[in-house]
Chains A and B, each alone.
Chain A
């Protein structure tokens, strides 16, 4: 499950009104989330949660569900 907070962070950064973001979705399945905007989304998530990801951690993300898990692991 993607938390509402993470979903809103992503939508806001990509300037989307609404989009059904599901855990098994890959980044490129979300409109506007390409390799160039990717970094802005990651930065927005880091800022929202006050965390800092390691490069390798982000590079290994397979889908948005993995991102949620990564965020959760940083917060606990």
Chain B
């Protein structure tokens, strides 16, 4: 009867395939999510039913992304669930401290083993001139994110800011929730757990915001980020010396936009999807390139990570070094940002990127007083031009640092700047405009959209909320269609302009 249905292929869709991970922007996810929404509609009245449904979906999602590592996820939930309860029940201060350190160490050891072992081996090889073989260690996707969720929970329990969670299923959902497990936001337990427990409710306003976020997220990620990276940035940054300084410079602007659209697009989709399921996740991006200082940038970029680092790394370090005053602040900043870099990846490029930001911040605090004096002497303190100037400077500092985040090694990063300063070839720009108009337009449009005030975003979401269902479905369908076009667009042939 079902001869036209290829059961083998259907089954293989549900199996783990490391080359075809489940991402929000795939049609298969769309299909699955739709199924989830329908099931959720019927099960949401029963709290345990709802949690179980979300858990099963989350574990299946994780299995599709990372195979059998979902077992590690369960193990991590286990350790942290019992760790917190033991810490909460412990009567002695020393006992609490020991349990606290033990739980943290286990979390970090798992993260360190899976993510950093081969990096350490490489360092040992370099320092000791040894030649140890790297181990074949697969990386469980999202481990950096869910480990940080776990650590924040344990610290808050230890600081007695929250009570240990009694319900194991609720807690496991906190750790393994599919929407934020791959790329955040790194939500806090005290914000997430109460939402698991309360009655499911989605209001009209939230539906409008959901559609706005999903549509915007898809557009940013698939239309802008993926297109710019595949057709432009990847080529330049893989071998910058083959391209002129103009192209390298445009690549820097392109990459800064790409990484923002990629990451914030995914966050938007995660937050939008979660709203439909009754969860309000943390805001993760707030027009970061509108920042007037690197410090402000970090209050607008990857907010869930920067607040995590602020609360659990920077502030404790700051307290430890407080007698060194401004030097203590600087030391705490450099260490925090260095580790922030390391968290992003097991490579010297990431540590270098982090250290560069640490340096920016330290420089900023050392020169805060003289700069303030300078502006007030020139009566420029509240000048609009100074504000714009500061935004432009901050953006360029951040964009320059992003180069090291992207390239394969630090030397390649320097090559990018070498080409810009030694081999600019300004005349190539016009040829570039003729050959790659789409890239340039996307970059310009992307930045213009970035600087649109937040009030316009909120107004747009409101308008969508008040559109009838058929209109909302049309908007979403249109965005899916646009995204599909962008995805299936032919890879642009590349051209070497310097010849």
Where the two chains meet, the residues of A that have a C-beta atom closer than 8 Å to any C-beta of B are: 35-36, 38-40, 42-43, 55-56, 58-60
Contact = CB atoms under 8 A, between A and B. Distances in A.
A55 B319 contact: yes
Contact of B159 (A38, A40, A42, A60): A60
Interface of B: 159-161, 295, 310, 314-316, 318-320, 322-323, 325, 328-329, 365
The winner among B159, B318, B328 for most chain A CB atoms within 10 A is: B318
B159 A39 contact: no
Nearest to A57: B319
Contacts of B322: 39, 42-43
Name A's interface SS: helix
Given A59-B159, A59-B316, A35 B310 contact: yes
7 contacts: A35-B318, A39-B329, A40-B325, A43-B323, A55-B316, A56-B159, A60-B161
Contacts of B316: 55, 59
A18 B295 CA distance: 26
Contacts of A39: 318-319, 322, 325, 328-329
B331 to A, nearest CB: 12
Contacts of B329: 36, 39
A17 B320 CA distance: 30
Nearest to B365: A36
A55 B315 CA distance: 9
A40 to B, nearest CB: 7
A14 to B, nearest CB: 14
A60 B319 contact: no
Contacts of A56: 159
A36 B161 CA distance: 23
A68 to B, nearest CB: 19
Given A39-B328, A39-B329, A43-B325, A59 B315 contact: yes
Contacts of A38: 315, 318
Nearest to B312: A59
Nearest to A56: B159
A20 to B, nearest CB: 24
Contact of B320 (A36, A42, A55): A55
Contacts of B328: 39
A58 B319 CA distance: 8
The winner among B159, B161, B295, B322 for most chain A CB atoms within 10 A is: B322
